């Protein structure tokens, strides 16, 4: 998109407040100050050419990293993906896991900091980002996530695993080498509990899964593939936020099979390329929202996993902190239209 005089303006809309039935929050859409797509370009793009000579994530420097958990392919120096322990973990795997299910633990405000904090090095080569990889290679990264989540589930000491990626310093990345993270924790995070409660409330009132129902609004659709579709959510909290959603109802990300991972890899690559091209390679986060382990069968009809991409284009300020409501300067219908028109 160009910021020239010929650039199309966004539609003239009045402010609106929408309810997010997945996360249970209200979002204020206030588009008055942003009239063109170029108004949203990142003022703090992620650098792509900075290649420090001391990066421990680069191939050949494996001895400088924290212990390795596994690599792909296994047992070869010519790896494509490595999973390692985080050198500075937020949680400690060498502590005794808390008995969060005991009567004594119910209502407790403090448990031991037991858990797992891993790093997924997505490529051996520093200048390469996730969106630079071939679609199949992105799919292989997703399959590594799946394998590690399955390993953590098998331990029986964790209740939830969060897969996430921070791209750029403004999004929380401390290393410029392309990587993502996996954290396993012994409690169910409050945001996950809230998400499931909100989706249950919608299911009880409509008989529909909130996520499955997203497919019905073509104005929010960006792109689709055989098994997934990418949308701008109806009550997006952030400008140009994207959700990638499985077409088939599925509660658990870690049940993703190879064919679907390859399919998702292509769509994820395309969405990251679109955001980079449209918004000047902005910092971003993506997170995978899945179900807690040992989900009750009664929750399965409304629990649906999805991947959320959030570019960092603004600042969370006092109103958001005070109310829990977000202000979004672009309507998702307009964001979806702009993104549809961007070549990958």
* Residues tagged in the binding site annotation for Zn(2+): 55, 58, 126, 177
Q: Tell me how far apart the alpha carbons of residues 16 and 261 are, in angstroms, rounded to a whole number.
A: 37
Active-site residue among 167, 179, 254, 289? 179
| Contact between 25 and 326 (Cβ < 8 Å) | yes
The secondary structure of 175-220 as a DSSP string is: -SS-EEEEEEESS--HHHHHHHHHHHHHHHHHSS-TTGGGGG-GGG
| Contact between 188 and 217 (Cβ < 8 Å) | no
| Contact between 100 and 111 (Cβ < 8 Å) | yes
Torsion of CA 162, 164, 169, 171, to 10 degrees: -90
Q: Tell me how far apart the alpha carbons of residues 17 and 243 are, in angstroms, rounded to a whole number.
A: 20
- Phi, psi at 322, each rounded to 5°: -80, -30
Cβ-Cβ contacts under 8 Å for 79 (sequence gap 6 or more): 59, 71, 72, 73, 124
Closest among 336, 150, 117, 327 to 234, alpha carbons compared: 336
What tokens appear for 314 in the block?
Answer: 């603004």
Query: What is the bridge-based pairing of β-strands 68-72 and 25-29?
Result: unpaired
What tokens appear for 334 in the block?
Answer: 């307009």
Q: Tell me how far apart the alpha carbons of residues 19 and 114 are, in angstroms, rounded to a whole number.
A: 36
Known catalytic residue at 179? yes
Which residues are identified as catalytic? 179
């Amino acid at each position: 998109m160009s910021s020239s005089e010929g650039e199309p303006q966004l539609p003239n809309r009045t402010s609106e407040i929408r309810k997010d039935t997945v996360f249970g929050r209200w979002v204020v859409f206030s588009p008055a100050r942003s009239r063109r797509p170029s108004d949203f370009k990142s003022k703090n793009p992620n650098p792509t050419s900075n290649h420090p000579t001391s990066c421990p994530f680069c191939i050949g420097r494996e001895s400088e990293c924290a212990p390795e958990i596994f690599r792909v392919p296994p047992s070869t120096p010519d790896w494509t993906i490595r999973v390692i322990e985080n050198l500075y973990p937020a949680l400690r795997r060498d502590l005794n896991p808390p008995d969060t299910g005991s009567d004594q633990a119910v209502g407790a405000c403090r448990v031991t900091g037991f858990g797992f904090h891993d790093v997924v090095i997505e490529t051996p080569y520093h200048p390469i980002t996730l969106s630079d990889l071939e679609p199949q290679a992105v799919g292989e990264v997703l399959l590594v996530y799946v394998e590690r989540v399955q390993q953590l589930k098998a331990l029986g000491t964790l209740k939830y695993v969060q897969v996430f990626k921070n791209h750029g310093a403004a999004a929380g990345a401390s290393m410029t080498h392309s990587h993502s993270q996996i954290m396993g924790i012994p409690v169910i995070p409050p945001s996950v509990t809230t998400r499931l409660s909100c989706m249950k409330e919608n299911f009880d009132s409509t008989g529909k899964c909130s996520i499955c129902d997203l497919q019905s609004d073509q104005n929010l659709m960006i792109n689709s593939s055989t098994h997934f579709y990418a949308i701008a959510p109806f009550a997006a909290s952030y400008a140009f936020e994207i959700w990638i959603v499985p077409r088939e109802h599925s509660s658990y990300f870690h049940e993703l099979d190879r064919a679907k991972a390859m399919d998702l890899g292509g769509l994820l690559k395309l969405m990251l390329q679109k955001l980079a091209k449209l918004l000047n390679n902005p910092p971003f986060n993506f997170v995978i929202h899945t179900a807690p382990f040992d989900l009750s069968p009664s929750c399965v009809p409304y629990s649906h996993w999805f991947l959320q991409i959030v570019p960092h284009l603004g600042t969370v300020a006092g109103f958001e902190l005070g109310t829990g409501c977000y202000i979004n300067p672009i309507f998702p219908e307009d964001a979806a239209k702009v993104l549809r028109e961007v070549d990958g």
